[in-house]
Structure 1
Amino acid sequence: MACEISIIVPVYKVENYLNKCIDSILGQTFKDFELILVNDGSPDNCPKICDDYASTDQRVKVIHKENGGLSSARNAGLKIAKGKYIAFVDSDDFIHLKMYEVLHSNAKQYSSDIVICDYLKVNEGDVLNSDEPNLRYKEEHYTNIEALNELYGNKGVKFVVVWNKLFKKHLFDNLEFEENKIHEDEFIAHQLLYKSSKITYIPIQLHFYLQRKNSITQAEFCIKHLDFIKAYKERVNFFMTINQFDLQKKAEYSYIPLFFRYYYKAKNEVPNSREELKRLKSEFCFSLFSFIKNPYFIKKEKIGWFIFVINTSLFDSLVQKRLRNF
């Protein structure tokens, strides 16, 4: 049955948090939605919790699937979504009871393709009055290019993550989350923003982002964290493809320092990362002449890149010497 909003919640090993998450969604003052719970092969009590909610509220739909990761679960939810708008909530987070009332009313009033709210980081055990935030605010409106520039401003993370947003469903036509990746929002954010005609930002904290020690973002550095570099490089390539050269240079300015930081972190801390680092270096070398033209970097930095490409051992020794001097 058609509805206004499809809210997609991937579920995996969160039995201690899932009830709070679901209750905050089902208690929304905005009622015309479906809640799609995607059990991503969770080995704990989560599948039963999902089924129990579905048996008591007809708005709840449950998908049971083999474990495929967060992107796979979101994509599975998108395939059955009936709403005019799409929203995502991570299953260890929770939301303000008026979140979708506020986002939806702004989407309708301003014909916005994406509406974004602020979020609040919370720790386990924090007691919050999540019922009555200050709902007085001054909304901000952006074109797609203006919003893409915000990726490199002080609202960067807010414009990247998908769980603080309401999207028109058409934005996901021929577009899905890249699977088998972490930092998955970084791979899709710029594409969603570019497909939008109007983006509205609401500067109030309506999403509560739980900080827990065993989450993916808190995990020990491993080779999968190199996906962050890949996402940033894909964004560089994307801006070049759409002829947005100022954005391309900004993207390069973010990508290159991240490349070297993660490259050497993996090289020093992650066993068996040699082949992956070789591929990443090859991608870096392929774009070197574009990087050289970037006005945001000084000459000394550009000389360093040439040394890295031509004689990595020499560059390694310079890096280690610099680290010893800190």
Structure 2
Amino acid sequence: MKNILVSIIMPVYNNEKYLSGAIESVLNQTHKNIELLILDDGSTDSSLSIIENYAMHNKNIRLVSRDNKGVANSIDELLKYVKGDYIARMDGDDYSFPDRIEKQLKYLKENSDVGLVGSFVEVELTDYKNKDDVKLCEDIFNFKIDDKNSSIKFLNGHRMCHGTFMCRAKIFEEVKYNINLNSSEDLDFIFNLISKNFKVGIIEKRFYLNRVDSEFVHKQKYLNEKYNEEILKSKLKFLQSYIKNREVCIVGKSKYSNTLYKILKNNNIKIGDSIIYEYTNDKFADLGKSYIFIVDKCNYEHIRDSLITQGKNDLYDFIFI
């Protein structure tokens, strides 16, 4: 296994503060047969010169530099230079623990049906300190999945930290990153993988330090409409095969129920007569074969139990989104 080449792709944009640490964490991996492909996406700080210095002294580092086009486009560009049979993601302001690549490669070798594996993360806030916000982020990224619930977990709001992604290079023959997305490119990519019958795994150990700022945390707490809309569109695209020709109903009220309603309308999906804010078993019985979107987090368990007693199934008939 030590002879297997792993290609690590690192998009960089203005990461000068943490960039050296990120690169060093790759060079110090216990699995030594690696190539590090770095794309500087039009940085305006000293990131480019930092990368140039490392590339000058390390023959396994390749630098690509260009004007700013965004993360998804950067990944798409870096994939053109990959030589390894396995590809790992890495962000320019994060840190991979020394045995990360070794352990993820071992997992993929032992689980031939898995196309992509991530890991748990340790979260560090870069511009302030708040234990509750660290826990909020770690709860989003650190979750258990299995073959039956992976898509449900991602639809419910969990996100695998994209910097922990490691996958087989061959999956890119069937699945590509959507370069037009700004907020949900990683989630959209995972949904596309699952749709193509690739399995997704998570190692329940922390192999990665994920640095996030107050802007990221704010988005998780108070989703703005633009960020919200892109994520919901990715989820809805994945759910089309379950909704089929059924009309849909939105149960509950949240800060993004109106955005969901608008997206459904714009996609010409038939919506039931009303959005149900108060729910009883009688009202659920009236929904018939409708596909149900649950947007009420506080009462989700109660709503879910009521639907299951009526013979409805999670994902196939309803989803908390």
Quick one: which amino acid aligns to residue 288 of structure 1? I
Structure 2 partner of 1:43: 44
1:94 touches 1:207 (CA, 8 Å); kept in 2?
A: yes
Question: 5 Å matches for 1:29-178?
Answer: 29-111=30-112, 112-124=114-126, 142-143=146-147, 146-152=149-155, 156-158=158-160, 161-178=161-178
Mapping of residues 146-295 of structure 1, within 5 Å:
146-152=149-155, 156-158=158-160, 161-181=161-181, 182-195=183-196, 197-213=198-214, 221=224, 223-237=226-240, 261-262=255-256, 264=258, 280=263, 282-283=265-266, 285-288=268-271
Structure 1 pair 223–114 and aligned structure 2 pair: CA distance change class (3 A): closer
Q: Are the structure 2 counterparts of residues 98 and 300 from structure 1 closer, same or farther at C-alpha, using a change threshold of 3 Å?
A: same
Residue 314 of structure 1 is matched in structure 2 by: none
For 1:103 and 1:122, the matched residues in 2 are separated by 22
SS of 1:204's equivalent in the other structure is strand
**Identity across aligned pairs (percent)?**
21
CA drift of 1:77 comes to: 0.8
Q: CA deviation at 1:152?
A: 4.9
Which residue of structure 2 lines up, in the alignment, with residue 135 of structure 1?
A: none
Aligned-pair distance for 1:223? Answer: 3.0
Tell me how far apart the structure 2 counterparts of residues 44 and 74 of structure 1 sit (CA, whole Å).
21
Q: Partner letter of residue 78 of structure 1?
A: L
CA 1:197–1:124 in structure 2 vs 1: closer, same or farther (change >3 Å)? Answer: closer
Aligned partner of 2:22 in structure 1 is: 21
CA apart distance, 1:117: 1.5
- Following TM superposition, by how much is the alpha carbon of 1:97 offset from its aligned partner in structure 2, in angstroms? 0.8
Question: For residue 139 of structure 2, what is the aligned residue in structure 1?
Answer: none
Q: 1:280 to 1:63 in 2, by over 3 A?
A: same
Q: For residue 233 of structure 1, what is the amino acid of its counterpart?
A: L
1:73 Cα deviation from its structure 2 partner: 0.6
Q: Secondary structure at the match of 2:159?
A: helix
What is the Cα deviation at residue 162 of structure 1? 2.9
Q: By how many angstroms is 1:168 displaced? A: 0.5
Structure 2 distance, partners of 1:152, 1:278, is 17
1:115 Cα deviation from its structure 2 partner: 2.5
Partner secondary structure for residue 176 of structure 1: coil
| 2: CA distance, partners of 1:95 / 1:106 | 16
Equivalent pair of 2:41/2:70 in contact (CA under 8 Å): yes
Q: Structure 2 CA distance, aligned partners of 1:257 and 1:14?
A: 42
Using a 3 Å threshold, how does the CA distance of structure 1 residues 28 and 49 change in structure 2: closer, same or farther?
same
**How far apart are 1:283 and its partner, in Å?**
2.7
* Deviation of 1:110 (Å): 3.0
Distance 1:59 1:298 in 2: 62
Determine the structure 2 residue equivalent to 1:315: none
Structure 1 residues 300 and 44 mapped into 2: Cα distance closer, same or farther (>3 Å)? farther
Distance 1:202 1:237 in 2: 29
SS in 1 for 2:256: helix
Q: Distance in 2 between matches of 1:60 and 1:227?
A: 34
Q: Is contact 1:7-1:33 (8 Å) kept?
A: yes
* 1:172 Cα deviation after fit: 1.1
Instruction: Write the letter of the residue equivalent to 2:263.
Output: L
The aligned counterpart of 2:13 is 12
Query: Take 1:83 and 1:27, find their aligned partners in 2: how far apart are those partners?
Result: 18
Distance 1:85 1:76 in 2: 17
| In structure 1, C-alpha distance between the alignment counterparts of 2:231 and 2:59, rounded to whole Å | 39
Instruction: Give distance in 1, aligned partners of 2:54 and 2:30.
Output: 18
**Structure 1 unmatched runs, 5+:** 127-139, 267-276, 304-326
Q: 1:269-300 CA distances to partner (integer Å, 9 max, x unpaired)?
A: xxxxxxxx9973533552426x99xxx99775
RMSD, aligned α-carbons: 3.9
Q: Which residue of 2 aligns with 1:133?
A: none
CA apart distance, 1:120: 1.5
**Cα 1:80/1:196, change in 2 over 3 Å:** farther
